[in-house]
Structure 1
Amino acid sequence: MNIVFVEPHFPRNQREFPRALASVGANVIGIGETPWDYLDDQLKSWLVHYEQVGSVTDRQAMTAAVRKVQGMVWVDRLESTIEAHQMVAAQVREDLGIPGTSVRTTWLCRDKPSMKDALRKVGVPTAASTGADNADQVWEFARSVGYPLILKPRDAAGAADTIRVDNDEELKSALNAMGNYHSIAVEEFIEGHEGFYDTVSVDGNIHLDFASHYYPGVLEAMRTRWISPQFVTTNRIDGGGLYDEIREMGERVNRALGIGTSATHMEWFYGPKGLKFSEIGCRPPGVGCWDLYNAANDMDVYAAWAEAIVHGGISRRPSRSHAAGIIALRPDQDGQIKGYSGLQDIENRYGRWIIDAHIPPQGHGTQSVTAGFMANAWIRMKHPDYDQLREMLDDVGRTVHVYAG
């Protein structure tokens, strides 16, 4: 099978996808923005051909590159795994008659108001929401639903450019801050615990799944420097209760949005109003989630995804032997890293349970806390007991300090 894969070089874990595709027998043709000579020998060894384009989000350039490849071989699939690349990849598929996720499904997975409208029609519980093209529509929604509200670009991923407002003054300020967007999504703020549900589906049926939890919720985590936020994937997903509800919701979301053979990343809330769907991406999760799943489940999730794409089934099964999580360690201020404290203590206490870590050296520039879980220092850990892992990660957050200036 000949698979065109979009942008195999960057970010860092993108190389795992062509590796996995090649490992299950696919001929992988890469299309990316990086010159061929800049790719390392290992990555080159997984590709049978490579085309460079100026931008993988340029529909015309991508169409021309894929058409050139079609002149050489039959293209069975065109795959992309980064949110910003999804729509152009879907458009090129439809333009050139290549199977895969449709433009309609891609649109519904990116446009938050349309996504929620489609899901409410089939009974999936979601927050009240609307798409607003002007400030008057936002004010009308606020009067109808009340505060607090969430404002975000219609096609934002995660917490990117997301603003919570609790009163008229904050709404006025938020609208001014979001003035560059022609259309925004406005949602009821849902109180409750936040998590995510990641799957690999074949022909719309979920063959592989994982459930994870945020501590605290993403919006708070990405706005508050002193917090060392975590997300943790559970090994208790087969225990029923809430996880059965999440799985049932995932199946309904797949059917409503037309998910076929694809990875997905679905966010959810659970609180006083029960389980509520938040949003979905028709792609793998970011922030190295699949690496955590690999460590927790004694498997290669990338290869399982590749099997689904190439062979229409998945032979690998998760062991659920461990829970695994990441904790982000924020510098006390922006600038350059000056040093750390507490790292040796954590190594002494939990060394056997540490998967890996990223500890930028002295003099390394910091990034804003809004840049995400892997923006600065981080540690990933696993343990057979979910509650014990949570305690260990909390201890890391209390013990390790990152100094900058």
Structure 2
Amino acid sequence: MHVVFVEPRFPGNQKDFVRGLHEVGAKVSAVGEAPLDALGPDLPRWLTCYEQVGSVCDESALARALQEIHRHRPVDRLEATVEAHILPVARVREAAGLAGTSVKTAHLCRDKPAMKEALREAGVATAQSMGGGDADEILRFGSRVGYPLIVKPRAGAGASGTYRVEDEPQLAALLPTLGVGHGAEVAVEEFVEGHEAFYDTLTIGGVVVHDFMTHYYPNVLEAMRTREVSPQFIATNRIDAAAPYAEVRELGKMVIDALEIGTSATHMEWFFGENGLKFSEIGCRPPGVRAWDLYAAANEMDLYREWAACIVHGRTAQQATRRYSAGIVTLRPERDGRITGYEGLEKVESRFGEWIIDVHLPSPGTPTQPVEAGYMANAWLRLRHPDYDELRGMLDAVGRWVRVRAA
């Protein structure tokens, strides 16, 4: 099989998808935005062909690159794993008559209001929502549903550009700053109280063959707005043993069926609170923030190869051991500026050294990134441990002990 992979260079773990395809026996070509000589030492030896384009979201350029690669060697699949690439790649794929995620499915996984409408029709419990660019209609929605509300880009990912709105005056003031009334559209939804987590799968023909459950502490919106917390997410190894996860798995199956997801990775966010389990949103792609690295470390498997085996051979090669839980703790600089040093690392090493997966510590002099830039924007540390509760306590301790100094 000849697979064309879209954008192999950025983010950094993109090359592992190419590696996985190569290792399971596929011929691999790629379309990317960097010149060939910028791909590093590994990618060129895994690739059969490479085409550079100005933007992989430019469907015309992507289609021309696909045609050029196909001219050298017939193409069987066109794949992407980054949220912003999923829909344009689906359109080019469908126009070329290749198998894979359909335009309909890609659209529903990208357009949050359309997604929630389709899922409500399928009986999936989810927040009330709407999408549009009419400020008066949005304000009427707020009056009907009540506050607080969540306002986000219609095709956003994660907490990027997401706002919690407490009342009508705040909503009315926010909308023009987001371009509403000037051609822009937003997604607006009921705010759901509860614990936030995510459920990730690999599917073959709509059947889940691998799945993983991960918890946020605290919820994402707070984590991406509050410097004083050291946010975590933790992948549990109790997914098969804890009864409440069966309900999440059933919810996930309903979503996969309703959106007609075939052979793909998925990333689903959910909440659990006083009103029970509520679905939040789905991406027809792997999770971000290198969550797959945690799953691999926790389950002693190469998840990139497993994804490739699903795409190329329609089967899996490994099973998750569930031996460990694994998590990341974000270490925030005390202020914006430049990193000057770290405190508390020796204590972490002496107490938890055997459980450390890896650590990222930008060198002194490195400019800090803003809090809202995400879990891996500055310093971070990842751990694994056989006991979930013990791991959570360890990550809490790291967040208390380590200080990232900046000036």
TM interval, shorter chain, is over 0.9
SS of equivalent to 1:107: helix
Asked whether 1:2 is paired with 2:2, we answer yes
The 1:240/1:388 distance shift into structure 2, 3 A limit, reads: closer
| Equivalent residue number for residue 311 of structure 1 | 313
Taking the aligned partners of 2:294 and 2:130, their CA distance within structure 1 comes to 35
Taking the aligned partners of 2:380 and 2:298, their CA distance within structure 1 comes to 17
1:389 to 382, 388, 391: 391
SS of equivalent to 1:40: coil
2:221 to 207, 216, 219: 219
Asked whether 1:300 is paired with 2:302, we answer yes
| Equivalent residue number for residue 327 of structure 2 | 325
How much has 1:41 moved relative to structure 2?
2.3
SS of equivalent to 1:247: helix
CA contact (8 A) 2:216 2:234 kept: yes
Asked whether 1:380 is paired with 2:345, we answer no
How much has 1:353 moved relative to structure 2?
0.6
Aligned pairs for 1:113-124 within 5 A: 113-124=113-124
SS of equivalent to 1:237: coil
| Equivalent residue number for residue 147 of structure 1 | 147
2:276 to 274, 277, 280: 274
Taking the aligned partners of 2:220 and 2:250, their CA distance within structure 1 comes to 24
CA contact (8 A) 2:87 2:106 kept: yes
How much has 1:144 moved relative to structure 2?
0.3
Amino acid at match of 1:171: L
Deviations 1:110-141 (A, max 9, x none): 10110000001111000010112211011000
| Equivalent residue number for residue 12 of structure 1 | 12
Deviations 1:18-44 (A, max 9, x none): 000000000000110110112222111
| Fraction of identical pairs, as percent | 57
SS of equivalent to 2:396: helix
Aligned pairs for 1:104-183 within 5 A: 104-179=104-179, 182-183=184-185
How much has 1:168 moved relative to structure 2?
2.0
Deviations 1:150-191 (A, max 9, x none): 000110001010000111232123213312661111000000
Deviations 1:337-361 (A, max 9, x none): 0111111111111000110000011
Point out the more displaced range, 167-176 or 283-292. Answer: 167-176
| Equivalent residue number for residue 28 of structure 2 | 28
| Equivalent residue number for residue 86 of structure 1 | 86
Taking the aligned partners of 2:71 and 2:166, their CA distance within structure 1 comes to 56
How much has 1:327 moved relative to structure 2?
0.4
SS of equivalent to 1:239: coil
Taking the aligned partners of 2:333 and 2:368, their CA distance within structure 1 comes to 7
CA contact (8 A) 2:359 2:382 kept: yes
Asked whether 1:98 is paired with 2:92, we answer no
| Equivalent residue number for residue 361 of structure 1 | 363
SS of equivalent to 2:13: helix
1:351 to 350, 353, 356: 353
Q: What value does the CA root-mean-square deviation take over the aligned residues? A: 0.9
Deviations 1:63-107 (A, max 9, x none): 001011122222111000001111110010111111110111000
SS of equivalent to 1:255: helix
SS of equivalent to 2:240: helix
**TM-score normalised by structure 1 residue count:** 0.99
How much has 1:312 moved relative to structure 2?
0.3
How much has 1:241 moved relative to structure 2?
2.1
SS of equivalent to 2:124: coil
**TM-score normalised by structure 2 residue count:** 0.98
Taking the aligned partners of 2:154 and 2:110, their CA distance within structure 1 comes to 7
Asked whether 1:401 is paired with 2:403, we answer yes
Taking the aligned partners of 1:72 and 1:164, their CA distance within structure 2 comes to 51
Taking the aligned partners of 2:39 and 2:394, their CA distance within structure 1 comes to 38
CA contact (8 A) 2:148 2:166 kept: yes
Amino acid at match of 1:19: R
CA contact (8 A) 2:138 2:188 kept: yes
SS of equivalent to 1:175: helix
Taking the aligned partners of 2:343 and 2:308, their CA distance within structure 1 comes to 41
Taking the aligned partners of 1:104 and 1:226, their CA distance within structure 2 comes to 42
- How many residues of Structure 1 are paired with residues of Structure 2 in the alignment? 405
Point out the more displaced range, 40-49 or 7-16. Answer: 40-49
Taking the aligned partners of 1:146 and 1:164, their CA distance within structure 2 comes to 13
Amino acid at match of 2:22: A
Taking the aligned partners of 1:249 and 1:370, their CA distance within structure 2 comes to 30
Taking the aligned partners of 2:402 and 2:363, their CA distance within structure 1 comes to 15
CA contact (8 A) 2:179 2:185 kept: no
Structure 2, unaligned runs of 5 or more = none
Taking the aligned partners of 1:41 and 1:360, their CA distance within structure 2 comes to 23
Taking the aligned partners of 2:72 and 2:136, their CA distance within structure 1 comes to 53
